[in-house]
Amino acid sequence: MPTLDDQFTEVEPKPARVLVVDDDSAIRTLFERALREADFEVQVAADGAAAQQLFGREHFDVVVSDIRMPGLDGIELLRLLRERDLDVPVILVTGEPTLSTALRAIEYGALRYLAKPVDCDVLVETVQDAARMRRLAGLRRQLLIHAGDAVRQVADRAGLEVRFERALQKLVMVYQPIVDWPARRVFGYEALLRSKEPTMAQPDALLDAAERLDRLIDLGRIVRSRVNESIGDAPEDALLFVNLHARELLDDRLGAATAELSAHAARIVLEITEGARLEQIPDVAHRVGRLRQAGFRVAIDDIGAGYAGLSSFALLQPDLIKLDRGLVHELHLDATKRKLVASLVQLCTELGMTVVAEGVEKVAERDTLAEIGCRYMQGFLFAKPAVNFPQPIF
């Protein structure tokens, strides 16, 4: 098997392959001649659609493209290229340079932004730098794989958008039971987000991308739609816990009668994390009130993972709270933590809030929680998350 050194020891690097895309035939010819004289292998395309076809069949190390073209423009072409290659450097060229187009080009991951007329020496130097960056990016990816990190890191907006759309198409909801331990019955299920897109398989990566792309509301609607599709397979008397990012409260459709899950609102608990920046949401109490009027219940998630003061309780007035797994872990071995959790459970119960303990993995943790009056529990001890509403082990 070749070693890492074998893969990257090059006696004579091959000439970089460059694709030039421009609807102006004179500029195409000028760029092609200058780059061939600099020993690049060059192909040309008269528009974005032709470039897309070429890129689908062949490998290129650098793409030089006009921004303004009929049909598929340079930035849209860049997005499509990212579906096939996260690393190919793209140099965008324009005859009408403006600050807004320059910023947009950079945001979408263009390596350089050149204004026409482009000096041929500048073009050649820029493409040479881009080809070196291409080789560097390829080496970096191989090193990540060699180190055991095969997940590709997505840095620019174009690549992020492509991966995010793929993640949405491959989105999967799995469910983990919440048990009423003393009664030995299922109390509810938490809907957990997953994706078969490797770069965003875990919810944190998907949520981070949604936040960067300002797509949190879109993601939330899709999640609730998927839960709505599978709710008929859940036990009839089980509640469904669905996570809600604080910024999704800005979605006016959330509590509408025709919205996802509204027909099943009496069975739905919307979980908002304790660390959510609720103060950034205008009229948050009113928005939460509308959800309650629609029949939804509200929970504060991850109690103990952070500190949000009393504001989250005052603004949300939760029906339920969920203890973070950090409070549950090895609870039976820590007398101080045990007393604190017991006091929290008692106080929340007195305030009319149901307490659910997350992350229960050991029999001793389960038994300690039961002893201090916490009857509702969730964790691997009972069942791992699965697609088809798994039955817990009692």
Residues 91 and 67: their CA atoms lie apart, in Å, by 10
> DSSP code of 14?
P
Q: Number of H helices and number of E strands within the chain?
A: 14, 13
Alpha carbons 131 and 193: distance in angstroms, whole number: 39
Which range, of 93-97, 118-122, 213-217, averages the lowest pLDDT? 93-97
| Residue scoring higher pLDDT (68 or 378) | 378
| pLDDT tier, 337 (very low <50, low <70, confident <90, very high otherwise) | confident
- Strands, DSSP E only, in 228-351? 239-243, 268-273, 297-303, 320-323
Same CATH topology for 4-146 and 157-378?
A: no
Say how many C-beta atoms besides its own lie within 10 A of residue 146's C-beta: 12
Q: Is the whole model's pTM more than 0.75, yes or no?
A: no
CATH architecture of the domain 157-378 equals: Alpha-Beta Barrel (3.20)
For residue range 8-60, what is the model confidence (pLDDT) as tens digits?
444 456 789 999 999 999 999 999 999 999 999 999 999 888 888 888 788 89
CATH code for the part of the protein at 4-146: 3.40.50.2300
Residues 304, 343: contact at Cβ < 8 Å? Answer: no
- What is the per-residue pLDDT across 60-70, written as a single tens digit (0 to 9) for each? 999 999 888 88
Residues 164, 201: contact at Cβ < 8 Å?
no
Q: At what angle do helices 74-82 and 48-57 cross, to 10 degrees?
A: 20
Check residue 88 and give its pLDDT. Answer: 83
CA distances from 281 to 245, 247, 248 (A): 11, 7, 9
Confidence band, pLDDT 50/70/90 cuts, at residue 108: low
- The structural domains of the chain, with segments of one domain joined by +, span 4-146, 157-378
